[in-house]
């Protein structure tokens, strides 16, 4: 069994509102064995000097699309499932170098289940990479955000969208996700910005449709994540018992209070809005997004400030895939710019994200937990941008990135 002692300058444990000073962490096998001022030294232990760094639990990004490339969604959708899984693997490994040791993939555009295969290969240790939690497809009404047929023109009815318009068909889609291995059910109950033929300010499920989807998932023991924009959509998702609201672009204070009371998590994907603002100014925003984003962008920023000022549970998620994965780490800075404290932003990416995923052995540095540990120079509580300088990454006790000056 491999063993490491990490000599840490400072420690964020995933939960606290302040950093701990110098500590030692003993890692044995894939778990944290001990944390304290001075830990055991088993035989053959390898010591890692992180004394000028802050360590944190590995980051968790709760909203990525490893197999969707917004820069060429239509073209890429036509690739085989295997091609998507392989490309997704290479993206996931590269993304782990930024400190992301667990990812929740929120949907692919493929008739098959490439992200489930990728998750299984990673979990079995066939390939190295981050831990993956998967909602394979995005269940949507026709004319909803998950209806991708608009990308292909009226005569291209390619079965990559999981769309349904009545209770029986909705139940069948949810059950199909369960049968073939999804961990989560992902649905959309409003339009989105990048999708043609829909509007984030409009709700696309009727209440009975949203409810039957959620009830079917509940019966199968599957949590539900809802892409949502309009405040009415947020309310509908919360009423149906959604575990997480994705984006919540146009949420208002009433819906935020409902989310808090219901215990729903928000995954507000704030960097995405910064990316879209830049694209709008550069005139590179896709034409179907321009009118919607032009109308809504100030209101989205206002909603982000409301979210930051509320006490709802906020989990870190980016929507990477819709923008380059190299920018996913910037969600920390976007969260702090919206008004979250650095501590809350870091909790969002560690303990709160782990809680959202129902993974109580992740997201916290404590004895017995998975040894998912990252380190960065400097103090992220004083300057959140140091999160973008992670240069040590350990997942389940295996080091995936060493600082450039190797000892």
CB nearer Zn ion, residue 205 or residue 392: 205
Please report whether residue 372 would count as binding Zn ion according to CB under 5 A: no
How far is residue 266's CA from residue 252's CA, in Å, rounded to a whole number? 13
CB nearer Zn ion, residue 48 or residue 66: 66
Nearest distance from residue 273's CB to Zn ion, in Å?
13
DSSP letter assigned to residue 135: -
Nearest distance from residue 229's CB to Zn ion, in Å?
12
Nearest distance from residue 246's CB to Zn ion, in Å?
6
Is residue 367 within 8 A of residue 32, CB to CB? The reply is yes
The site map against Zn ion for 46-85 (x = CB under 5 A) is ----------------------------------------
Q: Token pair of 64, please?
A: 């990525």
How far is residue 210's CA from residue 236's CA, in Å, rounded to a whole number? 8
CB nearer Zn ion, residue 54 or residue 269: 269
CB nearer Zn ion, residue 138 or residue 374: 138
CB nearer Zn ion, residue 212 or residue 322: 322
Q: Count of CB atoms within 10 A of residue 108's CB?
A: 28
CA angle 222, 224, 228 (to 5 degrees): 170
Query: For Zn ion, how many residues bind (rule: CB under 5 A)?
Result: 2
- What is the arrangement of strands in the sheet containing 31-36, beginning at the earlier edge strand? 31-36, 23-28, 3-11, 46-57, 373-377, 392-395, 398-401
The site map against Zn ion for 301-340 (x = CB under 5 A) is ------------------x---------------------
Is residue 249 within 8 A of residue 227, CB to CB? The reply is no
CB nearer Zn ion, residue 173 or residue 272: 272
Q: Token pair of 233, please?
A: 């959509």
**Which residues make beta-bridge pairs with 162?**
139
Identify the three-state secondary structure at position 379. Answer: coil
Nearest distance from residue 182's CB to Zn ion, in Å?
15
Q: Count of CB atoms within 10 A of residue 219's CB?
A: 12
How far is residue 217's CA from residue 224's CA, in Å, rounded to a whole number? 7
Nearest distance from residue 128's CB to Zn ion, in Å?
25
- Scan residues 94-123 and list those touching Zn ion (CB under 5 A): 106
CB nearer Zn ion, residue 27 or residue 300: 300
Nearest distance from residue 86's CB to Zn ion, in Å?
21
Measured at CB, which residue is nearest to Zn ion?
319
Q: Which residues make up the interface to Zn ion (CB under 5 A)? A: 106, 319
């Amino acid at each position: 069994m491999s063993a490491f002692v990490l000599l840490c300058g400072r420690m964020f444990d995933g939960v606290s509102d302040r950093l701990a000073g110098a500590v030692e962490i003993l890692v044995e096998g894939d778990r944290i064995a001990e944390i304290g001022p001075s830990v055991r030294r088993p035989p053959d232990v390898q010591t890692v000097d992180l004394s000028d760094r802050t360590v944190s639990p590995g980051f968790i990004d709760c909203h990525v699309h490893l197999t969707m490339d917004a820069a060429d969604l239509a073209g890429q959708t036509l690739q085989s499932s295997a091609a998507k899984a392989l490309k997704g693997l290479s993206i996931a490994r590269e993304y782990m170098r930024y400190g992301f040791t667990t990812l929740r993939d929120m949907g692919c555009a493929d008739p098959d289940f490439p992200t489930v295969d990728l998750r299984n290969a990673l979990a079995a240790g066939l390939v190295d990479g981050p831990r993956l939690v998967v909602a394979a497809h995005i269940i949507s009404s026709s004319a909803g955000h998950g209806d991708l047929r608009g990308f292909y023109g009226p005569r291209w009815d390619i079965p990559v969208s999981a769309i349904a318009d009545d209770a029986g068909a909705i139940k069948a889609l949810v059950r199909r996700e369960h049968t073939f291995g999804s961990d989560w059910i992902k649905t959309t109950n409003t339009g989105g910005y990048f999708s043609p033929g829909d509007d984030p300010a409009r709700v696309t499920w009727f209440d009975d449709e949203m409810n039957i989807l959620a009830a079917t998932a509940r019966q199968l023991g599957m949590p539900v994540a809802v892409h949502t924009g309009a405040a009415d959509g947020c309310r509908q998702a919360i009423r149906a018992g959604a575990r997480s609201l994705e984006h919540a672009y146009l949420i208002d204070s009433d819906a935020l209070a409902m989310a808090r009371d219901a215990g729903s998590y928000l995954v507000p994907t704030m960097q995405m809005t910064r990316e879209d603002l830049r694209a709008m100014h550069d005139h590179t925003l896709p034409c179907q997004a321009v009118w919607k984003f032009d109308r809504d962008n100030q209101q989205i920023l206002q909603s982000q400030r409301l979210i930051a000022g509320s006490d709802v549970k906020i989990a870190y998620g980016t929507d990477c895939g819709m923008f380059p994965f190299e920018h996913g780490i910037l969600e920390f800075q976007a969260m702090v710019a919206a008004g979250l404290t650095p501590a809350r932003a870091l909790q969002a990416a560690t303990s709160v994200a782990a809680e959202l995923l129902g993974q109580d052995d992740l997201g916290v540095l404590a004895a017995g937990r998975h040894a998912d540990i990252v380190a960065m120079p400097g103090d992220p509580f004083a300057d959140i941008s140091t999160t973008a300088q992670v240069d040590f990454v350990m997942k389940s006790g295996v080091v995936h990135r060493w600082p450039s000056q190797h000892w």
